Amino acid sequence: MKSSKKIILASESQRRKDLLMQIGIKKFLSVKHDIDEKKILLDPPITKSIVELAFMKANSVRQKLDKPKKIIIAGDTIVFRAGRVFEKTGCKEKVKEYLKLLSARRHFVYGGLCVISDDGRIFKRLIITEVYFNKISENDISDEILEDGIGKAGGYAIQSFSARFVRKIRGCYTNIVGISIPELYKILKILEF
């Protein structure tokens, strides 16, 4: 993708940076948003909340800019199963708990995507991916799996060690990683990026 328009990613996530580079966006700024995700209550419907959270992230970065004539991209992801949100984990014990609850079951990854164009247009998308895990035994949960799951929604990173547990997915793989690249690409085409 070649364009003179400037891109800002409203995230410092390496996974999201890698995804942008994967579709040929080499030059972009990564700017930390000012949203304290721990204080955000994901009200029902969760699907609406996750899209709104992505918008809040994009908008918080836009408000920081002196000249907001840039395309701002923000994303958020949550793992959801049986009425429960599996938030980002802070410790190995929580990773282990999550993996046991997700073992041999289906769960959903809800991705919120927001793009604010250089002329102020707002594009919001919800992406839903179904993920089916194989049975995870006690022996499967190694220290590297536990370490890898810290700070991740659902306690796992599909692009890393936990890929071994995934039986199948229905929907967008990159949504699970951090941003739905097909949806983002569609929006960028509308913006003639």
From the candidates 34, 43, 66, 76, give the one annotated as an active-site residue. 76
| Rounded Cα–Cα distance for residues 116 and 91 (Å) | 34
Bin 49: left if φ > 0, else alpha if -120 < ψ < 50, else beta. Answer: alpha
Q: What contacts 26, CB < 8 A, 6 or more positions away?
A: none
Query: What was the pLDDT predicted at 92?
Result: 97
18 is catalytic: no
| Rounded Cα–Cα distance for residues 155 and 149 (Å) | 4
Any idea what the Cα angle at residue 53 is, between residues 49 and 55, rounded to 5°? 120
Check: CB of residue 166 under 8 Å from CB of residue 105: no
Query: What was the pLDDT predicted at 36?
Result: 82
Query: What was the pLDDT predicted at 107?
Result: 98
Check: CB of residue 101 under 8 Å from CB of residue 81: yes
**Digits of tens for pLDDT over the chain (193 positions)?**
555 579 999 999 999 999 999 999 989 999 999 998 777 767 788 999 999 999 999 999 999 987 768 999 999 999 999 999 999 999 999 999 999 999 999 999 999 999 999 999 999 999 999 999 999 999 999 999 999 999 999 999 999 999 999 999 999 999 999 999 999 999 999 998 8
Query: What was the pLDDT predicted at 67?
Result: 77
* Amino acid at the residue 182: P
Phi, psi of 181 (to 5 degrees): -65, -40
Check: CB of residue 19 under 8 Å from CB of residue 181: yes
Query: What was the pLDDT predicted at 65?
Result: 86
Phi, psi of 156 (to 5 degrees): -150, 160
Length of the chain: 193
- Give me the domains of the chain, ranges plus CATH numbers: 7-190 (3.90.950.10)
Query: What was the pLDDT predicted at 44?
Result: 80
